[in-house]
Homo-oligomer: A and B are copies of this chain.
């Protein structure tokens, strides 16, 4: 067993890692040399450590964090290892999905902004029958879709008539957890009229009533996939501040043309509406 030990430089060349990297891996306990001269601090590696070093290099190429690489190396069981790697694979897949969304938006921004036309209008009050949900910020799309399905199902089952497009309601301040609502405009709901709006619950269960006050709003229409909605919101809120207004939540989205209409995503049309206060120059309450 008198295998000759390698200095850090030779080991680095063998494994295509930099000396800096090897020292770092030693420091964090990922790959310690078999021997460290106590007098000089020189690190000496054994040839069979090249296996782990090459594995580290491979997994780093796949962009795995060093901590995760350490876990996979430490866990001898292949199924534990596979579980960790599957987790990282899913994480990477999620990042790719996010990046693809970003790419679409970036392309759209690069090729001349769609130049949203934001208009100041007077919106009349609406009474909505809504379904609510709370979800993480990343899952809003999914949650809204499910709410829409539940809403139309409940409305259909209870025989309530509604008019116009479906609406989505979103809080002005996005926290970690987002409370979203999907609603449909109803003229009057049995057992609800005259009650305190916002907390009423229809007989069919799961349906609330939300009263949207009328008044001045800024509004714009977005064409295309929902992933590019931030562009429209950017235009909308830019307009809010440029006109010296103040936004009042919740923000409303009217799904003029959407998934229920059986058209291509590019044909979707969504109207964004935000109520605004015309604050005069005087102090605000």
**Contacts of A231-274 to chain B: CB distance below 8 A:** 231, 234, 237-238, 241-242, 244
Contact B112 A88 (CB under 8 A): no
Interface check A160, CB cutoff 8 A: no
**Contacts of A99-118 to chain B: CB distance below 8 A:** 99-100, 102-103, 105-107, 109-112
Interface check A67, CB cutoff 8 A: no
Q: What count of chain A residues pass the 8 Å CB interface test?
A: 48
From the candidates B3, B92, B102, name the one contacting A62 in the complex (CB within 8 A). B102
Min C-beta distance of A210 to chain B, whole Å: 24
Interface check A124, CB cutoff 8 A: no
Central interface residue in A3, A61, A78, by most chain B CB within 10 Å = A61
On chain B, the residues within 8 Å of A110 by CB distance are: 82, 85-86, 88-89
Chain A, 219-233, contact with B by CB distance < 8 Å: what is the 0/1 string? 000000000001100
On chain B, the residues within 8 Å of A55 by CB distance are: 234, 238
User: When chains A and B are docked, how far (Å) is the Cα of A158 from the Cα of B48?
Assistant: 48
On chain B, the residues within 8 Å of A89 by CB distance are: 103, 106-107, 110
What does DSSP make chain A's interface, helix, strand, loop or mixed? helix
User: When chains A and B are docked, how far (Å) is the Cα of A88 from the Cα of B99?
Assistant: 12
Contact A2 B281 (CB under 8 A): yes
Interface check A66, CB cutoff 8 A: no
Known: A61-B230, A92-B99. A112 touches B241 (CB 8 A): no
Chain A, 176-200, contact with B by CB distance < 8 Å: what is the 0/1 string? 0000000000000000000000000
Min C-beta distance of A231 to chain B, whole Å: 7
Given contacts A50-B238, A62-B109, A92-B99, 8 further A-B contacts (CB under 8 A): A47-B241, A48-B242, A50-B237, A50-B241, A62-B105, A88-B106, A88-B110, A96-B100
A residues adjacent to B (C-beta < 8 A): 2-4, 13-14, 16, 47-48, 50-51, 54-55, 58, 61-63, 78, 82, 85-86, 88-89, 92-93, 95-96, 99-100, 102-103, 105-107, 109-112, 173-174, 230-231, 234, 237-238, 241-242, 244, 281
The 4 closest A-B pairs by CB, nearest first: A50-B241, A85-B110, A89-B106, A86-B110
